[in-house]
Each structure stands twice: as C-alpha cells, then as structure tokens.
Structure 1
C-alpha cells in the first residue's frame, strides 16, 4: 500500500476519483464539504467551487453525513432518497489519532439497473419504485415522502426503520390530518412484505353493520360463494385499519382472535382459514381514554400498543413547516402545469402564524387551491380562505371611547388590505365601499 501511494501522484489520484463509477463527497468535522467529485456536482446541478466549504446539508438533500460524524458509526448500504429516486449510499467516519475529523460518503448504486445486482428483496423494491416513476397512478408513500427534520419526526422515522422489517403490530396515533396514512405506507414499503398487498380499511367510513363482512369476508348461502374481506386480501402483506376507534366492540374481539390465532372466519361461515397478515392501525383519539370509557377492549389495546407512533400536530412542529410547504408547492405546480409559483411575503407570514387545526391535510388542500388561484405566478393573501386571513387580523385596543376603538379597527383593516392588494378598486369592492369613500378613509388615516 505504501509503494502504491508513493508511485501514484496527486494528479493521478484526482483523476481516479473524478472518473470512478461512484460519486464521492468528503466533509470535515463541522460537516462542511472538503471535496466532491465533478460527476456528483453535475448530478446535483451545482458548481464544485460553490459546493466546497458549504454545509453538506445545503448541497445534498436528506444527507446523513452529519449523523455519521456525531455517532462515529458507519452507515453502509443505506437507501438515500434524492432528486426523486432512491440510491444506495455508504457513509464512513474518518478518524485521525482516534478523533473524528470528518466523514467520507459515496453513492455506490445510482440507477435502477445497478440495483438489480442486489438481493431479491431490494431488487423487487426497486422495481416497485421504477413502476412508480413510470406510472403516476401508483400512490403508495415512502419514508422519503414524509418531510421534516424536527426531533419528533426524526425519531419516528428512525423507529420505522428499526421496526419495519419485523411483523410486530403498530399503533399510529395522531390528530386528523397529521398524515398517519403516510407513516403506515412507509412501514409496509420498508418491510419484507413490500412485494405483497397493502390493504386499507377505514372503520369510520363504513357503516358498522357492514364492517364485519368488509373486514373478514362473507359466505353467500344462496350460491355458496365466498367473498374475501380486506383481511384475506392482505394475505402475506399488511392490513392497515384506519380509525380503529370506530370498530365495534364485537369486531374488536374478532380482530384480537384473528391476530392471536392467525386465522379468520368469514361471516355466515363455520370454516376458518389461515391468513398471514401484519396489522397496522391508526386512531385520531387516544385509545387509552376509550378504554376508560368502556369503548375499546383493553386486551386488544395491549396487543397493539407495544409499538406506538405518536404523530405530532403541525402546530407543534412548525420547524418542519417550510419543508412541507415547499414540497407541496412543487407537487401542485407540476400538477397545474405551472413552471414557477411563489408565495408573497405576506402570504407566507399568514400561513406561518396560522394554528392549523386541520394539520398537514389542511395545508395541502389550501396550497393546491392557491396554486391555481395565483396571479402572475404569485400567491397573494387574497388566494387564501377567509378563516386563514381572519386568524391573522391585527389586534386592536379595547379601551377608550367607541369612536376611537372603531377608528383604530378601521385603520388596521385598511392597512391589512393595502398590504395585500395594490388595486384600490378591488379593495373598495371587497369592503363594500365606493372608490371615493375608500380614498377618503385612506387619507383620513394617513395610509
């Protein structure tokens, strides 16, 4: 090795690194880029001179280089979701005299054909991803689709990566709209069952009297035909029971028995059949509270709760807000066929100050509509629903004479509208004023 190092000049080593099949990046102890090869820069669409010295997280999305430096533990053959596809990466800490001085990262497989040399599980997974690229109707989510780097979300993602390969049941709790479906899909996609069905049943969306046949199937006595339920449809795969809190107590007992015995008995049938299913459930209310109210079986809860993922509401992880916002903007721009849509500064401020009772789903719906309503490729506050704008109405004094209070309210309302809209004719129409009256009030308040 020493002879090799002596006989290879720096220029030759640089030539090897630049023309190697892999993409390389080297960072220092502060996670700043010391070296990155040109091929990698081309893929990332960044100039190398601009990348050198920058934090690696600014250049490479979803990087884990900083985590490897912090832990000192290599992260080998790890899926890395970047620029719309999965790659396989190695990340190794660099030590000098027992001290971490940086880390070395390489992308070792960067397209689908390379992945096919791997194990059958990974190969099949990548074929599913390729199918997703070719067919936009494929809607299952992956861990990389869950945006955010807040401590709570990082912890949940780490837990999913650990428990996904097992067959343990998982309970996902969180308010409506927090994205529980995405977490359930991610567990399935990372599991050994990913090549088999992911079947969802929403207990709150199906009338209680129909739930048993929908989940467990039904035997038609008239013609002897057996119609499989969702449980059987998920055989070898994952059954996701959404809003399990709406499952009647009688069916909770039947579900527990099915989980324990790994077999089901369809409605109207006396014959049971073996079914190999992993159970993932979700609830927008705490099941422990329902047990106290005698609305949920304690024995089923204890079977489900060993692994519980508590998804925080959006208002409690606002550090993730910009990542989620940008993700949806890009997604809906593509859907709307618009090349470039931006948020006005005031619009962004309003969105960030809102309390989001409907969580991520509410943000998603509002942005989807706003992209279509954008004027000159800018989303103005006028494109937002009234409940969003009303929550951002400035405060005003509540002391003094009624005349003074009303005058201050009038001034602040006018000020708010003028910040959002430059067309005074439109403002007058929105406020139900004549144009001359609007100008008088603007003059009166020195606006």
Structure 2
C-alpha cells in the first residue's frame, strides 16, 4: 500500500480526494485544519485556502474533531447538526507509532433523509434478490413517481423531505384523483419507519358499521389483527378520513393523544407505535360545519397539511404527466409506434380534467387500446373530453352580458351530454351547490 501511494502522481491523489463523494477534513494534533476538500468548503461557503491552519471548531459548526484528537476515540456514523440539518459523520484519529497526531473526518451521508431512504432501498433490494424478484413492489410508490416540476408540486416535495423523518401526523387534502396516495407513500418511504409496514384503510370503501372493527380489532373474539396492529412500528394511512364515523373518530383521537388502542369487546388499552397519515377529498372544515367531523381531531391532524392541487391548476406539468402515462401504457400493450394527432392533443390539453390524474390515466389507457393504427385520433377519446369550445365574437353586449351568455351555453351543453347534475358539477369543476345556484340564475 505504501508503495502504491508513493507511486501515485499528485494530480491523481488530488482527483481522488476531490471526487470521493464525501466531504472530509484533516486536522493536526492541535485540531487545526491541514486539508478540507473543495465540496465541503463550497457547502460551508468558505475559500479552501482560508481554512488551512485555522482551528476546526471555528470553521465547522458543532464539530467534535478536537475531541477525537484529545481522546483518541473514533466516532462512527455520528449525528452532526450543521446548517439546520443532521448529517452522519465519521471521525477517525490518525496515529503514528501509537501516538495521535491528528484526525480525519468525513461526512458519509449529507442528509439523514438520504440515509433512511438508502437504508430502506438497500434492504428492499436485497430482499428482492433473495426472493428472485426484480420488479417494482406493487402498490408501493416513491417520490420519483410524483411527476411534475410546477411551483406547487416542488413546494410539496420540499415539505415532505422536511417532515418525513418526524412522527407527526400529516393531512393530505385534494380532489379525488390528484394522487394523494402517492404523497402518503412518499412520506413513509422517506421516514424512519420505511423498513416497517405501511397499512392503508380506505374509509369510504368499508361499511361504517365495520370500520371500527377493521381499524381497532374485535379483541378476544377474533385472532385477526386490526389495521392498527398491523401498522405497529410503521405508518397507518387513513384514506378518506372524512368518512370515519364520529364514535370511531373519538378512538382515533385517543390513539393520537395517548398512543393506545382499545379493541371492540375489550376494556383493556394496548400501547401501539403508529404514525398517522390521513387524506380527504373534501375540506374537513366543511365537514366540521356539518357536524360530521370532530374539531379536536381536526386540530390534532392538520398541523402539517399538504394541499395537492388539481390537474387543471398545474397544467405546466401536463406534458410530463401525460408522457409518463402514455409511454407506460404503450410498454404494457406492446405497441412500439404510437402518437397523438394534433387535434387529439388539443382536446386533451384544453379539457379541465375534473377527475384529475386518475381520469387522465383512464382516458389515455382506453385511447391506446382503442387505437389500431399509429395515430390516436379524437375518435378514441370519450365524449366529455371533446366538448365544443365556445368562441367569442365582439358585439354590442357588455362584458358581463357576454360572460353570462357563454356561461349559460356551457351549462346547457354540459347538461345535454351529462344529465346527472353531480357528474356535471365535477366536469365543470363546481361544487353541487354552486351548480344549482347557476342553474337557478339562468332558469335552466
């Protein structure tokens, strides 16, 4: 080894230390810096040459390099809080003839979020290798599955990175089909609980009289574990929490406050360690006004709220999202050459997508399967996507009168194609009450 290092040219050594994918520093017996690589200096916003000879504790916040020099004890994977975040650092004493003459420190993982994510990824990969699996885990999503780079989506992703390592409950709000499940999975995958199960319960899919038993269990009368018991140590994702009956909301509140659950037919409370992520397609404040959701439970889960925008409010992400869905569907069908006609693309791009990404996915999948040639034409699209556009031509009417005429025409055409008022409201992006107000206004 000595011969190898001696024979290495200086420029090779420089490239090695500057491209080691780590930040590191070397100090002498007085804990003064002998060398700090360029990446570390950039992170600390300091000139590399200015670090030489300075006490390490003047340059690196909360460093313990001087303690390693003094004690001669190494620190492996030691948490290091610097610039508002925790990192994992190694600190190794340097000895010559048994005497400590300095120390070497490196930041192995620059962010604890990355460490937990990598740890989970490695474990899952090894498990798949052992099981002979190579495919992506079904129904398991990660941050990379959330497509889009709009300001709203980037803000949510940043928030997820910040709060994922905590055990705080999270509320995800957004219209149906916006991908709230993807965000819930991403939080779990980036959390300290990523090695433990993520258990989902869809409150709208389970009859209300069975929800309590499904969530909390039936006690000694059944050997079947409840969803909460299955999630112990991990994360419980309560989808459509607004459908949770009020009595069950009380028990959920106790779980959040005291960390205990009490199953049916039992008066014994058992401790559990579960993180709660909840989602709702309807603003919970509206349910509170209708006395369908407890205020105390709302304030317990809403401190961290992610508001996922509907697709129509982030159309700058549309091309990326549709490209991902399109190519994924093509690969599943085995079709190699397929494209949208310009007219088809215009219809897709101008539609409001009341069903959001889920509706877009269903439309694209159907269009691919319905197309026998190389081009997807408007014939492969459902009627609601091909609604006729209203064109405005100047007249003697006031602006308000013109807007009302266009609005009335849109309402009439939508109801002609979709008589069901609830579905029509979804297509128009209106609440049911607002639609009825407009129908009354225009005497429709």
* TM category, shorter: 0.5 to 0.7
Shift of the alpha carbon at 1:381? 1.2
CA distance in 1, matches of 2:289, 2:390: 43
Alignment partner of 2:219: what SS? strand
Shift of the alpha carbon at 1:8? 6.9
What is residue 305 of structure 2 aligned with on the other side? 308
Q: Residue 377 and residue 21 in structure 1: after superposition, are their counterparts in 2 closer, same or farther (change >3 A)?
A: farther
Structure 2 counterparts to residues 277-288 of structure 1, below 5 A = 277-288=274-285
What is residue 177 of structure 1 aligned with on the other side? 177
Q: Residue 288 and residue 381 in structure 1: after superposition, are their counterparts in 2 closer, same or farther (change >3 A)?
A: same
Give yes or no for contact 2:117–2:189 (8 Å, CA) kept in 1.
no
What is residue 379 of structure 2 aligned with on the other side? 382
CA distance in 2, matches of 1:8, 1:259: 59
CA distance in 2, matches of 1:166, 1:215: 23
What is residue 47 of structure 1 aligned with on the other side? none
Q: Does 1:263 align with 2:260?
A: yes
Q: CA RMSD in A?
A: 3.4
CA distance in 1, matches of 2:250, 2:327: 45
Alignment partner of 2:278: what SS? strand
Give yes or no for contact 1:241–1:279 (8 Å, CA) kept in 2.
yes
Shift of the alpha carbon at 1:303? 0.3
Q: For residues 52-103 of structure 1, what are the alpha-carbon distances to aligned partners after superposition, in whole Å with 9 as ceiling and x for unaligned?
A: xxxxxxxxxxxxxxxxxxxxxx999xxxxxxxxxxxxxx9699999xxxxxx
Q: Does 1:229 align with 2:226?
A: yes
CA distance in 2, matches of 1:302, 1:263: 19
Q: Residue 93 and residue 386 in structure 1: after superposition, are their counterparts in 2 closer, same or farther (change >3 A)?
A: farther
Structure 2 counterparts to residues 98-117 of structure 1, below 5 A = none
CA distance in 1, matches of 2:377, 2:315: 21
Give yes or no for contact 1:220–1:268 (8 Å, CA) kept in 2.
yes
Give yes or no for contact 2:201–2:239 (8 Å, CA) kept in 1.
yes
Give yes or no for contact 2:242–2:284 (8 Å, CA) kept in 1.
yes
CA distance in 1, matches of 2:372, 2:175: 33
CA distance in 1, matches of 2:116, 2:152: 33
Alignment partner of 1:227: what SS? coil
Structure 1: 5+ residue runs without aligned partners?
1-6, 23-73, 77-90, 98-113, 400-447
Q: Residue 257 and residue 96 in structure 1: after superposition, are their counterparts in 2 closer, same or farther (change >3 A)?
A: closer
Q: Does 1:196 align with 2:199?
A: no
CA distance in 1, matches of 2:323, 2:119: 31
CA distance in 1, matches of 2:237, 2:180: 10
What is residue 67 of structure 1 aligned with on the other side? none
How many residues are paired up?
304
Q: Residue 375 and residue 94 in structure 1: after superposition, are their counterparts in 2 closer, same or farther (change >3 A)?
A: farther
Structure 2 counterparts to residues 38-187 of structure 1, below 5 A = 122-128=118-124, 131=128, 134-187=134-187
Structure 2: 5+ residue runs without aligned partners?
1-8, 22-37, 49-107, 396-444
Shift of the alpha carbon at 1:121? 6.5
Give yes or no for contact 2:171–2:301 (8 Å, CA) kept in 1.
yes
CA distance in 2, matches of 1:387, 1:242: 28
Q: TM-score, normalised by structure 1?
A: 0.61
Q: Residue 121 and residue 363 in structure 1: after superposition, are their counterparts in 2 closer, same or farther (change >3 A)?
A: closer
